[in-house]
């Protein structure tokens, strides 16, 4: 507008393109570069430390899910023998470690019989639901709704076993065991249940000695596992408390197995 009007007397004309001073540009460039560089480095440091913290906590509590499915036929057969016949296991109960990335890591199940896996627990859980439905079908009480309740009952029983193992670690100051490890150890419960329910289908009276036997075997397996694996890195060790907790885990298996092994229309009893 001022260019079109021209110079008017008594009216100051504002500068169209003010020339920046070299000192201003220098200070501005240096300041903006310093701010961007400082904030960028600080942000990368924060994000890097937070990502490392998240990854470390995820690996601590959940581990890698693929690790628990690295199994083969030989491992499955040997693992079932250890779970169902723990008295015959002559080897050690500790897990095998190997150096990976500058630190020790546990070998996968395919190379270590004492490593936990989720393949057997998931397969045993599915077999338990199928055998329970077959048992009700032979009694003339089968229905899709009852099968759904048995599925929920099995999941709830698995959850109770996980909570039992998790809670027993807290008094010893070692509640940092990976959750998938505990889920795997708790899921082995269904291997004995499948054997007991199958025995009831084949011969009704076999259930009354198969159920106590599987309870005893599961109790021994969990005691050996908790003692040699899950209690191996406790921060505070108390021998008396240790033994009482192991005895409690073994004794709880009897009512837990009895409840899950009672296949009926009313899933609560």
Rounded to 5 degrees, what are φ and ψ at 97? -110, 160
**Section 66-76 average pLDDT:** 95
Q: Three-class SS of residue 98?
A: strand
What is the per-residue pLDDT across 19-62, written as a single tens digit (0 to 9) for each?
Answer: 544 444 443 444 444 444 444 444 444 334 433 433 344 444 45
Domain count, the chain: 1
Q: What is the DSSP string of 149-168?
A: HHHHHHHHHHHHHHHHHHHH
What is the per-residue pLDDT across 192-219, written as a single tens digit (0 to 9) for each?
Answer: 999 999 999 998 889 889 999 999 999 9
In a domain, residue 133? The reply is: yes
Token pair 């490392």 in the structure block, residue: 52
In a domain, residue 111? The reply is: no
Q: What is the dihedral of CA 216, 217, 220, 224, to 10 degrees?
A: -170
CB atoms under 10 Å from CB of 231, counted, come to 18
C-alpha 31/C-alpha 129 separation (Å) is: 69
pLDDT band at 232 (very low <50, low <70, confident <90, very high): low
In a domain, residue 2? The reply is: no
In a domain, residue 85? The reply is: no
In a domain, residue 120? The reply is: yes
pLDDT band at 3 (very low <50, low <70, confident <90, very high): very low
Q: What is the pTM of this model?
A: 0.74
Q: Three-class SS of residue 223?
A: helix
C-alpha 129/C-alpha 141 separation (Å) is: 15
Give the pairing of strands 97-100 and 103-106: antiparallel
**Do 68 and 119 contact (CB within 8 A), yes or no?**
yes
In a domain, residue 48? The reply is: no
Provide CB contacts within 8 A for 264, sequence distance 6+.
Answer: 136, 141
In a domain, residue 266? The reply is: no
**Do 211 and 262 contact (CB within 8 A), yes or no?**
no
**Do 103 and 93 contact (CB within 8 A), yes or no?**
no
Cα-based distances in Å from 250 to 83, 145, 213, 218, 262: 14, 33, 12, 8, 19
Its domain, for residue 165, covers: 116-261
In a domain, residue 247? The reply is: yes
């Amino acid at each position: 507008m001022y260019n079109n009007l021209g110079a008017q007397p008594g009216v100051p004309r504002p500068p169209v393109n003010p020339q920046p001073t070299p000192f201003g540009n220098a200070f501005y460039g240096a300041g903006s570069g310093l701010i961007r560089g400082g904030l960028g480095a600080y942000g990368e440091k924060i994000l890097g430390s937070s990502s490392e913290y998240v990854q470390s906590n995820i690996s601590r509590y959940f581990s890698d899910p693929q690790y628990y499915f690295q199994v083969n036929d030989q491992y499955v057969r040997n693992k079932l023998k250890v779970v169902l016949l723990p008295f015959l296991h002559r080897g050690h109960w500790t897990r095998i470690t190997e150096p990976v990335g500058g630190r020790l890591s546990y070998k996968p199940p395919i190379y270590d019989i004492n490593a936990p896996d989720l393949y057997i627990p998931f397969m045993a859980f599915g077999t338990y639901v199928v055998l329970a439905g077959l048992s009700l079908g032979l009694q003339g009480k089968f229905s899709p709704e009852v099968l759904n309740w048995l599925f929920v009952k099995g999941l709830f029983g698995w959850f109770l076993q996980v909570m039992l193992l998790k809670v027993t670690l807290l008094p010893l100051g070692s509640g940092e065991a990976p959750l998938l490890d505990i889920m795997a150890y708790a899921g082995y419960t269904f291997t004995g249940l499948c054997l007991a329910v199958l025995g009831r289908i084949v011969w009704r009276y076999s259930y009354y000695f198969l159920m106590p036997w599987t309870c005893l075997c599961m109790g021994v397996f969990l005691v050996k596992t908790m003692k040699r694996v899950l209690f191996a890195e406790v921060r505070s060790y108390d021998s008396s408390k240790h033994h009482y907790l192991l005895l409690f885990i073994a004794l709880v298996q009897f009512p837990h197995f009895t409840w899950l092994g009672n296949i009926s229309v009313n899933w609560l009893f």
